[in-house]
């Protein structure tokens, strides 16, 4: 029994976390899982570690998690607040390359003038 528990803890890449007010987790939203008692958001962070944030099914936090299905596969930020009406803030995070359309510079038409040697 104890050996199985240790195996699960050591080999599992899935970690249950409980956010305290004003704590944040950032990662790719992998799944929204529900069962009869709770709803969970599975967020993949670096090194493929899955962080699981779970709330009771009837809680305001669970309502927020239920609304995240349109963000599956996206990088998100989940922030726990201390505000009872808005307990979680979830924001999609865009990569910098998606925010700006950078055009490559063309340096072939750059005119350079050599300095004349000073005497």
Q: 5 or 67: which carries more pLDDT confidence?
A: 67
Per residue in 3-41, pLDDT (tens digit) is: 666 555 555 688 899 999 999 999 999 999 999 999 999
Has residue 90 got a pLDDT over 90? yes
pLDDT at 94: 84
Give me the residue spans of the domains in the chain: 8-96
What Rg do the C-alpha atoms of the chain give, in angstroms?
24
User: Is 78 in contact with 43 (CB distance < 8 Å)?
Assistant: yes
pTM of the model: 0.68
Instruction: Give the whole-angstrom CA distance, residue 45 versus residue 57.
Output: 24
User: Is 22 in contact with 79 (CB distance < 8 Å)?
Assistant: yes
pLDDT at 11: 58
Query: Please, where are the H alpha helices in the chain?
Result: 2-11, 60-66, 96-99
Count of Cβ atoms closer than 10 Å to residue 53 Cβ: 19
Hey, what CATH topology would domain 8-96 get? OB fold (Dihydrolipoamide Acetyltransferase, E2P) (2.40.50)
């Amino acid at each position: 029994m104890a050996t199985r528990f240790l195996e699960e803890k050591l080999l599992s890449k899935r970690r249950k976390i409980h956010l305290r007010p004003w704590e944040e987790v950032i990662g790719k939203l992998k799944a929204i899982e529900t069962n009869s008692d709770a709803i969970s958001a599975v967020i993949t962070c670096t090194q493929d570690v899955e962080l699981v944030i779970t709330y009771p099914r009837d809680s305001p936090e669970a309502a927020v998690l239920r609304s995240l299905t349109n963000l599956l596969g996206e990088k998100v930020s989940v922030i726990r607040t201390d505000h009872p009406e808005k307990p979680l803030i979830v924001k999609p995070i865009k990569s910098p390359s998606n925010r700006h359309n950078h055009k490559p510079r063309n340096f072939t038409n750059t005119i350079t003038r050599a300095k004349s040697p000073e005497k």
